[in-house]
């Protein structure tokens, strides 16, 4: 099954002995090669949805089928292995190890995934890292410390790290949230490029300009998917402003 399929997903937290239903009967399919954005007001359940379908958080009820694997039935060690080898993650806060160079941060997950399996030689991993860094135009800062690069370069390093193990899908939570407009455009250009090359992407964002570059936008409110808007594949040079205008109008109808 080459897709992410979510059926009747519920997530409930108990706060002061009272249940808080953060996700309510979510049904969702993301096809291989799709780029889907999730939008909605603060507290609507956007990030919880991303964390739950990626197995970073447990579900209360329902089923998540990740490309043929039902993640709710996996043991913690199996889930960790899938997150390491078949999923990539990009966050608003750029979690890189400060005692390592940019390059070493990028290759670390591949070295971890390779332990004891002899799957790829270190030379192959190192070359893939350099190839990704060249594509994302950060090869010049490979040996820099984390504190010696710009926010945009740091987030592009996080994209390289998320792709080092050739994942089936990348999950991005507010990937441009901490960036200025120029760096945000650069990061989205790279996410669109890797999506066109075949990587499936699910991203949470509050920025309609970011969401307008996705194939489809889901609007979540009070833990339920209220509606969706199909925009089709974004191509560089296409009518970005027209897509943004259409999306903004739709978001107003949703009560954004």
Of 36, 28, 10, 79, give the one whose Cα is nearest residue 169: 36
Burial 116-151, CB ≥16 within 10 A → b, else e: eeeebeeeebbebbbebbebbebbebbebebeebee
Q: How far is CA 142 from CA 23, 129, 146, 167, 222, in A?
A: 41, 10, 10, 22, 43
DSSP three-state, residue 206? coil
DSSP three-state, residue 17? coil
User: How confident is the model at residue 183, as a pLDDT?
Assistant: 82
DSSP-H helix ranges across the chain: 46-53, 76-86, 102-114, 122-135, 151-163, 181-196, 208-211, 240-254
Cβ pair 198, 218 in contact under 8 A: no
Domains of the chain listed by start with CATH number:
3-95+169-254 (3.40.50.300)
Instruction: Kindly tell me the number of DSSP H helices and DSSP E strands found in the chain.
Output: 8, 10
User: How confident is the model at residue 223, as a pLDDT?
Assistant: 94
- Cα 236 to Cα 251: distance, rounded to the nearest angstrom: 23
Can you give the pLDDT of all 256 residues of the chain as single tens digits?
A: 789 999 999 999 888 888 888 999 999 999 999 999 999 999 899 999 999 999 999 999 999 999 999 999 999 999 999 999 999 999 888 788 999 999 999 999 999 887 655 567 888 999 999 999 998 899 999 999 999 999 889 989 999 999 999 999 999 999 888 888 888 888 888 899 999 999 999 999 999 999 999 999 999 999 999 999 999 999 876 688 899 999 999 999 999 8
CA 76 remoteness from chain centre: 21
Cβ pair 46, 211 in contact under 8 A: no
pTM of the model: 0.92
């Amino acid at each position: 099954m080459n897709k992410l399929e979510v059926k009747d997903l519920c997530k409930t937290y108990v706060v002061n002995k009272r249940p808080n239903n953060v996700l309510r009967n979510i049904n969702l399919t993301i096809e291989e090669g799709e780029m889907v954005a999730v939008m909605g007001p603060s507290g609507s359940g956007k990030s919880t949805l991303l964390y739950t379908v990626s197995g970073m958080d447990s579900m209360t009820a329902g089923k998540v089928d990740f490309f043929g694997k039902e993640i709710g039935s996996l043991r913690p060690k199996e889930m960790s292995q899938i997150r390491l080898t078949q999923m990539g993650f990009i966050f608003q806060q750029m979690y890189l190890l400060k005692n390592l160079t940019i390059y070493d941060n990028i290759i670390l997950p591949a070295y971890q995934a390779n332990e004891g399996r002899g799957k790829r030689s270190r030379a192959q991993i190192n070359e893939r890292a350099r190839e990704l860094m060249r594509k994302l135009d950060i090869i010049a800062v490979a040996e820099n410390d984390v504190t010696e690069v710009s926010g945009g370069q740091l987030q592009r390093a996080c994209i390289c790290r998320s792709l080092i193990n050739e994942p089936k899908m990348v999950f991005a939570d507010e990937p441009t949230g901490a960036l200025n407009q120029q760096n945000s455009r650069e990061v989205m250009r790279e996410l669109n490029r890797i999506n066109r090359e075949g990587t499936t992407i699910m991203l949470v964002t509050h920025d309609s300009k970011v969401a307008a570059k996705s194939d489809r936008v889901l609007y979540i409110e009070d833990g339920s998917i209220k509606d969706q808007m199909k925009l089709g594949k974004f191509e560089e040079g296409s009518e970005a402003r027209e897509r943004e205008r259409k999306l903004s109008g739709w978001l107003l109808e949703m009560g954004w």
